[in-house]
Amino acid sequence: MKKIFWNSKFLTLEATYDLLNKHILLTKSFTGFQYLPFIIKSCRLKPLKYLQHRSNKVVLHKTWVDEFDKQLKIEENKSLSIQQSEEGSPKCCTDLYYGLSLLNIINISKLIYIRFNNDQQIISCLGLDDYFRTFQIKNNKWERISTLTLGLDTLVTIYNKKFLTHFINLTTCAGTKELLSYVPMPSELKKELPIEIEREIF
């Protein structure tokens, strides 16, 4: 994935969000969801129309895309949905730490979310810089994926627990285990994990 910036003036991601802040606040006000700015920024979402036609005019954006062709969409009834982007977003990476290993990413994080079952293993880290970095096992290798893959319920839960000082079991579905912990992780977390995950993150 090629690293580029989002406009011709080579703005950093943080500077881009400074420009988009009024758009984000308008979106929060329209939906009434207090957690929405957190999800937009931590998942590196940008308004699709802004990427296509940049303008300083503050407008309500209802489609926000990430760097993995997933999008957060505000529906007509103001509910939120996560979809695969049909139009596609720019293939670029704004993460300076994109090439780091999973273990190195954990070392620069403050929260770690772990989901696993017989078919899927996902680890998502909320960095010290308040950006998510999410991994999934594919072909016996940890690969980066869209954080929107976690789903809205999980993202809202992490928002509500972002000052966590211990680890908690979030499991709500039989057959799938979900854990959320502060970093550095407590040793007690080890007994909750399958051996293949434990040896990767401890």
Tell me the β-bridge partners of 74.
80
- Measured between its terminal Cα atoms, the distance across the chain in Å is 28
> Which ranges in 126-174 belong to alpha helices (H)?
152-160
Q: Indicate the Cα dihedral angle 168, 45, 122, 180, nearest 10°.
A: -10
Q: Phi and psi dihedrals of 23, rounded to 5?
A: -65, -45
pLDDT score at 79: 96
Give the Cα separation of 44 and 22 in Å (integer).
16
pLDDT score at 87: 60
Cβ-count burial 35-54 (b if 16+ within 10 Å, e if not): bbbbbbbbbbbbbbebeeee
pLDDT score at 9: 46
pLDDT score at 2: 37
pTM (global) more than 0.85: yes
* DSSP conformation class of 176: B
Instruction: Per-residue pLDDT tens, the chain, 202 aa: give them.
Output: 433 334 434 467 777 788 889 999 999 999 999 999 999 999 999 998 777 777 778 889 999 999 888 999 999 999 999 999 776 555 567 788 998 999 999 999 999 999 999 999 999 999 999 999 999 999 889 999 999 999 999 999 999 999 999 999 998 888 999 999 999 999 999 999 999 999 999 8
Angle at 161 between CA 121 and CA 116, to 5 degrees: 10
Sheet containing strand 141-145, edge to edge, reads: 141-145, 132-138, 121-127, 109-116, 177-182, 167-169
* DSSP conformation class of 97: T
pLDDT score at 91: 55
pLDDT score at 4: 33
C-alpha separations of 127 from 45, 87, 184 in Å:
16, 29, 12
C-alpha separations of 113 from 53, 116, 136 in Å:
35, 10, 12
